[in-house]
Amino acid sequence: MNPLRLLLKEPDRRFLEEADAQGLGLAKRLHGYLYLRWPYTYIRLLSGEHPLVTFLARGSRWLDRLFPARVERRRKARKTARTKIGIRFADTYHGKVMPTAEATRLVTIGREVSVTEPETVIPYALARDIVLKNPDHIVVFDCPCRAMRENPCLPMDVCLVVGEPFASMVLAHHKTRHARRVTPDEAVDILKAENARGHVHHAFFKDVVLGRFYAICNCCSCCCAAMAAQRNGVGMLAPSGYLVHVDADACVGCGNCVQYCQFGALKARDRTLQIKTARCMGCGACVNKCPKGALSLIPDATRTLPLLVDELLNGCTTRKS
């Protein structure tokens, strides 16, 4: 063992050992460790909310004014990198929208799973594995996105880290952020409570986090950095595989559901509900908010397929498209 690793906590060593076993290079091992060890700083930097980003951006703009050729060189370098590598940022870090029923099944799965989801389910080139070791090891802690907002949505402790080595690593380092172990039943209660608030469940995957699923975040459009990125053209959220459907005979156009749609897909006009299908991600947050029971989710074969937990339990180690 690298003697420097003896200075780390045991969960950190387990993470790095698994990264070694996967053949991740030094840069990716370090990147994954920094992300799990300091997620609050990481996400503030990534979203541009950290003061250091503002300082560096000002310095870069100052240099651009002094050396205008820098701008064109940077543009060409980005274009060349995209052409050569063919990998987008979203391929490395993304979330899959999940209705509450499937999210609750995922945290109560009850057995170890090793599956590679096809791109028809997780539509990204990288990070599509669901490898659950000790799936009943679940840790909840304060949402890093909400933590960087002045007036965040409450409660703060709604991010669920599922399985090892991730759960123990978050627990070891983030007790000041209310990190604590919860049972699968307690995780279900958190998911249901967030659904009642109109928030969306995202199963997150990241290439440097062993290329697999590691957390379910419960997201709101006002706080979530991934949803902000989605609005700005960085498609790091995949739709659930469903669309909301309205029973026109039952709907009275009251508009109660509209306030719960985090993606701006619903609009009530002239006592009629309008659905912008291109915006709907099939999260289902609106469905149980209809006092008339007029909303439901229906499969949407034109986009991605649903992440179905029952299919994770079919005994296969790999699913293919």
Same domain, 75 and 125: no
Same domain, 25 and 133: yes
Whether 189 maps to a domain, the answer reads yes
Same domain, 63 and 182: no
Whether 24 maps to a domain, the answer reads yes
Same domain, 95 and 226: yes
Same domain, 184 and 265: no
Count of C-beta atoms within a 10 Å radius of residue 49: 15
Whether 319 maps to a domain, the answer reads no
Same domain, 29 and 101: yes
Q: Give per-residue pLDDT as tens, 105-116.
A: 999 999 999 999
Whether 320 maps to a domain, the answer reads no
Q: What is the pLDDT of residue 195?
A: 98
pLDDT above 90 for 126:
yes
Q: Give per-residue pLDDT as tens, 149-183.
A: 999 999 999 999 999 999 999 999 999 999 999 99
Residue with more model confidence, 158 or 47: 158
CB of 297 closer than 8 Å to CB of 244: yes
Whether 317 maps to a domain, the answer reads no
pLDDT above 50 for 317:
no
Q: What is the pLDDT of residue 68?
A: 79
Same domain, 29 and 69: no
Q: Where are the alpha helices (DSSP H) in 128-273?
A: 144-147, 166-173, 184-196, 225-231
What domain range is 75 assigned to? 47-85
pLDDT above 80 for 144:
yes
Name the percent of the chain lying above pLDDT 70. 90
CATH of the domain at 256: 3.30.70.20
Same domain, 141 and 155: yes
Same domain, 54 and 162: no
Count the domains in the chain. 3
pLDDT above 50 for 305:
yes
Same domain, 224 and 253: no
Same domain, 58 and 135: no
Q: Which of 10, 11, 315, 7 is nearest to 161 (CA)?
A: 11
Same domain, 15 and 145: yes
Long-range contacts, 305-310 (Cβ 8 Å, 24+): 305/120, 305/121, 305/241, 306/102, 306/121, 306/240, 306/241, 306/242, 307/96, 307/98, 307/102, 307/117, 307/121, 307/122, 307/203, 307/240, 307/241, 308/102, 309/102, 309/105, 309/106, 309/109, 310/105
Whether 42 maps to a domain, the answer reads no
Q: Give per-residue pLDDT as tens, 211-234.
A: 999 999 999 999 999 999 999 999
Q: What is the pLDDT of residue 171?
A: 97
Rounded Cα distance between 64 and 240, Å, is 42
Rounded Cα distance between 301 and 316, Å, is 23
